[in-house]
Amino acid sequence: MNEKLRQKLAAGETAFGLWVTSEASAVTEVAGMLGIDWICIDMEHGYLNFKDIQGHLQAARGTDMTVLVRPPSQDLEPIKRALDVGAHGIVLPLVDSADEVKAAYDHFYYPPIGRRGIGGERSVKWGLDLENYVKSANDELLFIPMIETQKSYDNLDEILGVDGIEAIFLGPGDMSASRGAVGEWEGPGVTEINLDILRRAKEKGIGSGIVARHTDEAIQRRDQGFGMVSLGSDIGLMIRQIKQMAGELGKDTVGHRWF
């Protein structure tokens, strides 16, 4: 289920993605048609529920696009339920330590690695493919912790040393906030921290992901060696295009969005 993304990470190529914040499954359908490599459906912020997540996963069916879910917390219920409706992996928010990764592994993996329970939901084709899924899920699913706090940066080597981590995702805005620069995308020192995290992860054969706020930044992140680069969020991209077109037509718009 994650073959295309894994191949790009292994080859040192950049896989481009999209952050999904809207319930409209057409967003995912179009992303798949366009050949986007991966999407991350965001449950940490906003209003999406598991019915919305299932709709996005159904819209991605028949594509080779990886569909990740960022749950609202590191707890059992949201991780388990996201996987049960068919998510290809989890982007775990606000990871501060290796111990938090290992605790989340209990919810993410089937025995003997974790304690994920076996159910008959969409991930196993409503029980019709249960045996095949449970045999392969521990190897096929992607677990991606977010490195987005000063504590996680302080504990980076221990986090990167946990078995099973193939990629991490950086959160510059939250990293900045944790260092006292609330509301800044890359506060003082965070640019250097991002590149240091990228370098140290690469030394361990681990890919790094990050969100780009515009095309030039996406090019920059690609050239820096990030293996996963989000082109932005669905709503953010819509706002960006509307503002650009309106400006070119002489229409004033208001406000500013991060990504």
Our measurement of the distance from residue 242's CA atom to the centroid of its chain's CA atoms, rounded to an integer in Å, reads 25
CA-CA distance, 104 to 25, in Å (whole number)? 28
Q: Which of 45, 88, 107, 256 is catalytic?
A: 45
CB contact set of 112 (below 8 Å; sequence gap of 6+)? none
Catalytic site residue 107?
Answer: no
Largest CA distance in the chain: 62
**Number of alpha carbons in the 13 Å side-chain half-sphere of residue 229:** 22
CA-CA distance, 224 to 218, in Å (whole number)? 10
SS3 109: coil
Token duo for residue 120: 């008959």
In the block, tokens 């068919």 appear at 86
Peptide bond into 145 cis (omega under 30): no
Rg of the chain, C-alpha, whole Å: 18
CA-CA distance, 9 to 167, in Å (whole number)? 9
CB contact set of 160 (below 8 Å; sequence gap of 6+)? 168, 200, 201, 204, 206
Catalytic residue numbers, as ranges: 45
